[in-house]
């Protein structure tokens, strides 16, 4: 597996990371614990060195899974986790980034992950009630104490990123980015490039849509998060299949899969971008990892960008109660 560096601090990770959330929630039934641990071990064997989780995933269950799975490799990998989302109440996401809450969250994460320091500690969502300078200052202190190595942010807006970075350099921003969601290209990516901050796209396969395995006839199980996502309504899926067809055409030419083309497209954008696709299946893990070796030519990229620029992607990426907590 090729390596890439995030941020000016040069945090080195595998070119493709592993998003572990789906092993415990959001995409159908949670995976069998033993099988998920085995899959994480296989990811390490295949050269993946970057694993992503959060205290709210489960909640806590995903960190416990990752901690148990990666304990044999302690000190040899990069583990990222997140603070700042405490749960849901009356359809609203509860965010809390007060200094005392961050410290409590960190102690819990360290225990569950079975580590002495978090390699990359993200603020999961911006808390409008706590100045970002106070959040960054708290993380700066935790770095000085040796409990955190790098500061990250998730789904933050450009102005907030700048303010935080002025207090404690931000190593990486994690936000959604793919051919299915290109909003970060307007302000976020130029800001990251200017400040020397790495970018970690989550949902790089459009929550599975860009794999070509989902169409307007697909039925999701009851507890699948996509059931409440406007972009995954039957009508939206039907309207957006042209994007999948495009990836499929390029994939045939490259003797690859649509998912590999989608990931290779992200890798071709900037050398400091590291997507973190997730999966519960070994064959998908291998498919995703092989995308790091897929070279898209300038002509390939031009064809993709030109075609997509003429498309209108239908449906919001989140229901309103979740979208309003992004881009602050």
- 72 located within any domain: yes
- 77 located within any domain: yes
pLDDT at 322: 83
57 counts as catalytic:
yes
Residue 79 is given by DSSP the state E
Q: How far apart are CA 138 and CA 245, in angstroms?
A: 47
Which of the following is catalytic: 57, 121, 122, 318? 57
Residue 257 is given by DSSP the state -
pLDDT at 324: 75
What's the CATH number where 247 sits? Answer: 3.20.20.100
pLDDT at 90: 67
Each residue's pLDDT expressed in tens, for the chain with a length of 328 residues: 999 999 998 999 999 999 999 999 888 889 999 999 999 999 999 999 999 999 999 999 999 999 999 999 999 999 999 999 988 776 678 999 999 999 999 999 999 999 999 999 999 999 999 999 999 999 999 999 999 999 999 999 999 999 999 999 999 999 999 999 999 999 999 999 999 999 999 999 999 999 999 999 999 998 899 999 999 999 999 999 999 999 999 999 999 999 999 999 999 999 999 999 999 999 999 999 999 999 999 999 999 999 999 999 999 998 888 887 687 8
Range of the domain at 195: 3-323
Contact 114, 67 (CB under 8 A): yes
- 20 located within any domain: yes
pLDDT in tens, 74-88: 999 999 999 999 887
- 328 located within any domain: no
Q: How far apart are CA 167 and CA 98, in angstroms?
A: 16
- 269 located within any domain: yes
- The 3 state secondary structure assigned to 154-191 is ECCCHHHHHHHHHHCCEEEEEEECECCECHHHCCHHHH
- 221 located within any domain: yes
pLDDT in tens, 217-256: 999 998 899 999 999 999 999 999 999 999 999 999 999 9
Split into its structural domains, the chain has a count of: 1
pLDDT at 326: 82
Buried b (16+ CB within 10 A) or exposed e, 127-140: beebebeebbebbb
Residue 14's nearest CA partner among 201, 262, 275, 296 is 275
Q: How far apart are CA 94 and CA 111, in angstroms?
A: 23
- 63 located within any domain: yes
- 141 located within any domain: yes
pLDDT at 109: 98
């Amino acid at each position: 597996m090729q390596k890439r560096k995030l941020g000016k601090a040069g945090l080195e990770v595998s070119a493709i990371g592993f998003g572990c959330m789906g092993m415990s929630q959001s995409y159908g039934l949670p995976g069998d614990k033993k099988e998920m641990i085995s899959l994480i071990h296989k990811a390490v064997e295949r050269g993946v060195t970057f694993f992503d989780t959060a205290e709210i995933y489960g909640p806590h269950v995903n960190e416990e899974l990752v901690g148990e799975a990666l304990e044999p490799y302690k000190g040899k990998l990069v583990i990222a986790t997140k603070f700042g989302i405490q749960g849901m109440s009356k359809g609203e996401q509860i965010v809390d980034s007060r200094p005392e809450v961050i410290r409590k969250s960190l102690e819990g994460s360290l225990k569950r992950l079975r580590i002495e320091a978090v390699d990359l500690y993200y603020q999961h969502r911006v808390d409008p009630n706590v100045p970002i300078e106070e959040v960054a200052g708290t993380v700066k202190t935790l770095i000085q104490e040796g409990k955190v190595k790098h500061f990250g942010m998730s789904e933050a807006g450009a102005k907030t990123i700048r303010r935080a970075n002025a207090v404690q350099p931000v190593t990486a921003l994690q936000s959604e980015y793919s051919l299915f969601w290109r909003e970060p290209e307007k302000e976020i990516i130029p800001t990251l490039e200017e400040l020397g901050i790495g970018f970690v796209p989550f949902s790089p396969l459009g929550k599975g849509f860009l794999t070509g395995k989902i169409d307007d006839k697909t039925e999701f199980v009851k507890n699948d998060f996509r059931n409440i996502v406007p972009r995954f309504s039957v009508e939206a899926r039907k309207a957006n299949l042209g994007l999948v067809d495009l990836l499929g055409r390029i994939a045939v030419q490259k003797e690859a899969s649509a998912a590999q083309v989608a990931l290779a497209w992200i890798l071709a954008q900037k050398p400091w971008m590291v997507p973190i696709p997730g999966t519960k299946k070994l064959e998908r893990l291998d498919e995703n990892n092989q995308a790091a070796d897929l070279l898209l030519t300038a002509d390939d990229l031009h064809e993709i960008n030109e075609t997509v620029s003429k498309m209108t992607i239908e449906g919001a990426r989140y229901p309103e109660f979740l979208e309003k907590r992004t881009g602050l």
